[in-house]
Structure 1
Amino acid sequence: MLTALLLQLFGDDPRRETGVYLLLTGKRTVSVLYAGLRAHILQWLLLYPTLARADYQAAIAQLIRAGALVKTDSGLIVTDKNAQVRAAQVIQLPAAYRPWMGMTAFDQRLTLAVQAVSENGAGVRHYRPAVSDWGVQQQVRRWYQGTQPRVFADELQGLFEALPQDAGDVLAAGFIGHAFVGSAQADLATQMRRTQALAQLVTRLDEDPQRWPQTAALWGGRQPIFPRTQTQIVDLLDQGFSREAIGQRLGVRPSTVNEHLLTAAIMGQALPLEGLYPAAIKHAFDQVPDPTETNYQTLLSQVPASDFFQVRLFQILQFQGRWPGND
């Protein structure tokens, strides 16, 4: 099962196996995120945070032995397209998933909340919690104190009606309630189907949280996937501070400022380029012979007055189609 999932994360372009693993498990360095962006797999950040390194390596080795992947000096490439098609039939990647959804934590809270509402509604006060994590239990207890169980049940029914029937069926099958125990998530394919269904539900909560207030409160809204420092750095840049001044104001190293700004750009955030590129350097980047150049050293030699940060940001924005071009 794991090989079927992993094979879909590689392509014709070489991809570092370590980079793919770190993306899946949630490593958020610029190098990992930039590689994910270039490979069109950035969406799968944090998709599988519990994946053991040994299991990942064993699955990759199996794919190499089977001839589905081959090693090159730059990384792994897919050599068997038919195997990749078959892999997608075995495990479907959850297309609705986004890293900010906080899927693992919300799945636990939702599972326990459904059980609590069901058991309490039947007058049962003592039962074995479906989720053993004490922190999750406390979160659901606080949520329950401020909720109206009947309203929550109606909201959940409405949400299920708004979902495709197969998504509702997958979610319902994983719940535990009074006189009902759903099927266990026995394999990775089932887990990915549940992730897809839960992501479809979260999408509706995100689109209209006022329509589903009790369930939206249980979800908690979009989860920050980067530290507060990054928001502070971007805010200060928007206010007109230079990179150097931001570092001094926040007491962080210039490399930290650069890393947070590049990460923000990779994740699609708009940055005021006038504060990052003097006019002459901006013009020089507009004139480079090949704006799609992937080797930063080549671009650095073509715009020698620039630095690594400016080159990498140029590459990110060019790849995303967000570089403003020649004025």
Structure 2
Amino acid sequence: MTMAASITDDGEHLSAELAAALRAGPFDRALDLAIRRRGLSLEAVQRRVALRGATVSQATLSYWRRGGRRPDGDRSLRAVRALEDSLGLPRAALERLLTPVRPRSPEDTAAGLANALDLSPAAIESCDGIDLVGNNRLSLMSLHQHVHIGPDRTERLVRTEIVATARVNGVDRWVSFFHPQDGEGHQPTVVGTRCCRPARARTDPDSELLAVELRFDYPLRSGETYVYSFDIGYEGPPPATDYSQYGLRTPARQLVLQVSFDPAQVPVRCYRYYKSPAGLSSIDGELPLGPSMTTHIAIPDAPPGVHGIRWEWE
């Protein structure tokens, strides 16, 4: 594993992902990674905080870790400082993430989103009028993407089901970014929705990246959960494919990627892969494909990056 240059107070090297989160936030991601690095339960974290003279409940820690709430007030800040000490973090490493930061430039936003989607920044910048950072107002509790492959080896339908929690008041939309594997007239489009409806949409003519705002039935309050789903199909010919992937910009409490094949055309093998935001790639072992002609990966506490399933036809 590539390690960052910064170190904790006790001399241990921070992981690259945790170091990046401590630099750029958000607070909930940095806290989650710090707890996972120590391998502690919330009960153990609560005990360590109490030993340092601060008080915080396990429920509050869970909300902070998921992004459902943010620490606010003197009592919470004392708990955050105790958390830093309990988790072996530098002083103020978490606390400074609670202060307002300068807005990112459009270039920074495009570059970050392009990296998560494995696209060029130019493709993202073509989505004029789309709120590129709006999805950051939601924390992902669960995301399930189910891809249906036809008998001609083409991607026929992609269904995405999401359970999310509002991080602030007034959240009323999710922006879906979707692109086929080549820009050859496939014309991706939203063909079905549940508990949301398509609104403003943009398509990059070169990559055929589709960016579409999906409006919720009502605005959410901070901490409120919402369940919604949508289907992506094609107005033009569906693309032939040998992989399916999902790019996460922020962590998801659970990520499930599922691929179903037509019995008339079954791959000889399937395997999973992952590319981190830092560009590090890994390929894991072969995935099973049962009589249902379906394979999947399920990732608890999925980190940002590109998660995918690849298969070989012959």
TM-score bucket (shorter structure) = under 0.3
Between Structure 1 and Structure 2, which shows a larger proportion of strand residues?
2
Between Structure 1 and Structure 2, which shows a larger proportion of helix residues?
1
- What TM-score, normalized to structure 1? 0.24
- What TM-score, normalized to structure 2? 0.25
Structure having the higher Rg: 1
